Amino acid sequence: MTYLATSAAHWPGTVLVLIAGLALGLLLAGPLLRRTFPVAWWLLLGFPVACVQVARTWRPLMAGCGLAVSRKAALVVVSGLVGKGAPPPQPRVPRRGVMHPTAGGFWFLVRLLPGQVPEAFAKAAPAMAENWQVHAVRVTSHRPGIVRVVASTADPLREPRISRQRGSGRLLRVVVGALETGAQWVIDLRQVPHWLIVGATRSGKSTLINALVAGLAPQPVALVGIDCKGGMELSLYGPRLSALATDRRQAVKLLAALVELTLDRMAVCRKAHVRNIWGLPDADQPVPVVVIVDEIAELFLIANRGEKDEAQAAGTALIRLAQLGAALGVFLIVAGQRVGSDLGPGVTALRAQLGGRVCHRVADPGTAEMALGDLNPDAIKAAQAIAPEQAGTAVLASGDGWERARSHLVSEAQAEATAVEYAHLTPFLPELADVLGGPSAGLTVRLERLDRDSRTSNDDHDHDS
Ligand SMILES: Nc1ncnc2c1ncn2[C@@H]1O[C@H](COP(=O)(O)OP(=O)(O)O)[C@@H](O)[C@H]1O
Ligand SMILES: [Mg+2]
């Protein structure tokens, strides 16, 4: 009995010592733990604190930003009479949904009050970031009447933690970097077939293309390069390219051959009564072709009349490819420093066809506007805020909104090594190769032959391995 009593008396002390020890341990090991397990740290400690912070500041914040709506005057009077001196009811604030943690922040939904618009909330985002002491808050409209508030505690793009894709992954889908939300930045050509990538010199365009090529190289796809700066950029991938045009004359021929190839595929699909190549039986599916154009301006800029026809032909062919290609397995990745209407009317028409937009740091606001403006006018500011030392950071825009992202740093040497490693997977497209071979090489591309060739070459390798 005595023994029990003493041990019970010691209990609170032991617990206190344990808690104090734990707290001290956390305090000492905290910075290290936080650095080594940032996500666990955030979920266990940071996020609960943030929840309290948001709950505490929500009402004053909404009132301060003019997002609270006062009750009807009559109600205030009635409550004054009934409540006999009790404080009048507080203004209504928009209702907040449950807070959800993400790897580097949190998000929740907010139901707008009558008469409120999402833009008013977007304006309050900087105030929210200040109040909650987070890196940034983004407000996007979620559904009519509901906005989504997304907060990130630190700039997740400073040191993106998403690891690079291993292996080939799903066909035409590549993890090229990390999004601001901490999620993977995926370029899926079957979802968004054509891309426009802009950015000033050394802003990260080639690095993004490296990441994309590194991801596509292990897949059964044909890569075709158009690099009119003499092939300086794209020749890195030489062993894995089915064709490479290094000046505008070659580019025009190559593009014409690609248009022919696309038209042939169209005929095949029509005959089979399917709307795209994915509707064809597996055995008949032609190999997807990804066309990479580095520095689009080189195709469009003209110095004299003679070049005008070439430039026009290149532009027309690219637009055709963009219009027809998605269904027929031809995809466009177009990169450029400046994409302005001064490059000719073709550029604007082409841009309209390139649904995926990536805007790195740009030298002039005009290019950001060309890349993002028609989809998301408010994304332009974000693009202009990218600093030179954040190379690889970009703003992505699509029909549903915009977000910041950063590509994986894939160096030229790594890209080159990948191209060599997967050179054996390069489909042989004889017609494209012929085009670049002789000046008058046959431009007709026959789908059946082309695809049989590419498939057999793949099969051979399967047997090899
Ligand atoms: N995602 C990235 N992460 C870190 N550094 C990058 C990233 N992208 C680019 N850089 C840096 O910027 C440099 C220039 O990038 P690059 O892709 O060659 O630009 P561009 O093709 O637009 O001229 C690279 O050599 C690299 O040092
Ligand atoms: Mg480059």
Ion ligand 2: residue ranges with CB closer than 5 A:
205-206
Per-residue model confidence (pLDDT) at position 282:
86
- 408 CA closest ligand 1 atom index: 1
Pairwise pLDDT comparison (435 vs 50), residue with the higher score: 50
Residues of the chain with CATH 3.30.980: 35-152
Residues 138, 381: Cα–Cα separation, whole Å: 13
205 lines ligand 1 (CB under 6 A): yes
pLDDT at 460 over 60: no
pLDDT at 319 over 50: yes
Segment holding 205, helix H or strand E: helix 205-216
280 lines ligand 1 (CB under 6 A): no
Per-residue pLDDT tens digits for 83-104:
566 666 788 999 999 999 988 7
Report which protein residue has its CA nearest ligand 1's atom 2. 392
204 annotated as a binding-site residue: yes
Q: What percent of the chain has pLDDT over 70?
A: 84
Per-residue model confidence (pLDDT) at position 415:
87
Residues 448, 446: Cα–Cα separation, whole Å: 6
Phi/psi at 75 (5° precision): -65, -40
Segment holding 108, helix H or strand E: strand 105-111
- In 286-407, DSSP assigns E strands to 289-294, 330-336, 356-359, 393-398, 401-407
357 annotated as a binding-site residue: no
Per-residue model confidence (pLDDT) at position 437:
58
Work out the mean pLDDT of the chain and round it to a whole number. 83
Per-residue pLDDT tens digits for 15-53:
889 889 888 887 787 788 778 887 888 888 889 999 999
pLDDT at 151 over 50: yes
Residues 6+ away with beta carbon under 8 Å from 41: 33, 34
Cα–Cα nearest to 389, from 360, 357, 369 = 360
Per-residue pLDDT tens digits for 224-249:
999 988 888 898 898 999 999 998 88
Burial of 15 (0-12, 13-18, 19+ CB in 10 A): exposed
Per-residue model confidence (pLDDT) at position 334:
95
The rounded Å distance from CA 401 to ligand 2 centre is: 26
**First CA to last CA distance, the chain:** 77
207 lines ligand 1 (CB under 6 A): yes
Per-residue model confidence (pLDDT) at position 5:
52
- DSSP letter at 135 equals S
CATH for 173-464?
Answer: 3.40.50.300
pLDDT at 74 over 70: no
Per-residue model confidence (pLDDT) at position 344:
79
pLDDT at 8 over 70: no
pLDDT at 443 over 50: no
336 lines ligand 1 (CB under 6 A): no
User: Is domain 35-152 annotated with CATH 3.30.980?
Assistant: yes
Cα–Cα nearest to 427, from 274, 260, 220 = 220
- The predicted model gives 143-158 an average pLDDT of 86
Per-residue model confidence (pLDDT) at position 218:
92
Strands 393-398 and 356-359: antiparallel
- The predicted model gives 9-13 an average pLDDT of 73
Residue 261: other Cβ atoms inside 10 A: 27
- The predicted model gives 71-91 an average pLDDT of 64
Residues 80, 99: Cα–Cα separation, whole Å: 35
- The predicted model gives 173-194 an average pLDDT of 89
Residues of the chain with CATH 3.40.50.300: 173-464
- The predicted model gives 328-357 an average pLDDT of 88
Per-residue model confidence (pLDDT) at position 136:
86
Distance of CA 172 to the CA centre of its chain: 15
CA atoms within a 13 Å half-sphere pointing along the CA-CB vector of 115:
7
Phi/psi at 351 (5° precision): -55, -40
pTM comes to 0.75
Per-residue model confidence (pLDDT) at position 163:
67
Per-residue model confidence (pLDDT) at position 1:
46
6 annotated as a binding-site residue: no
- In 228-312, DSSP assigns E strands to 241-245, 289-294
pLDDT at 252 over 70: yes
Q: Which amino acid is at 296?
A: I
Q: Which residues of 304-337 are buried (b: 16+ CB within 10 A; e: fewer)?
A: eeeeeebbbbbbbbbbbbbeebbbbbbbbbbbbb
Residues 6+ away with beta carbon under 8 Å from 199: 205, 335, 337, 358, 359, 360, 361, 362, 394
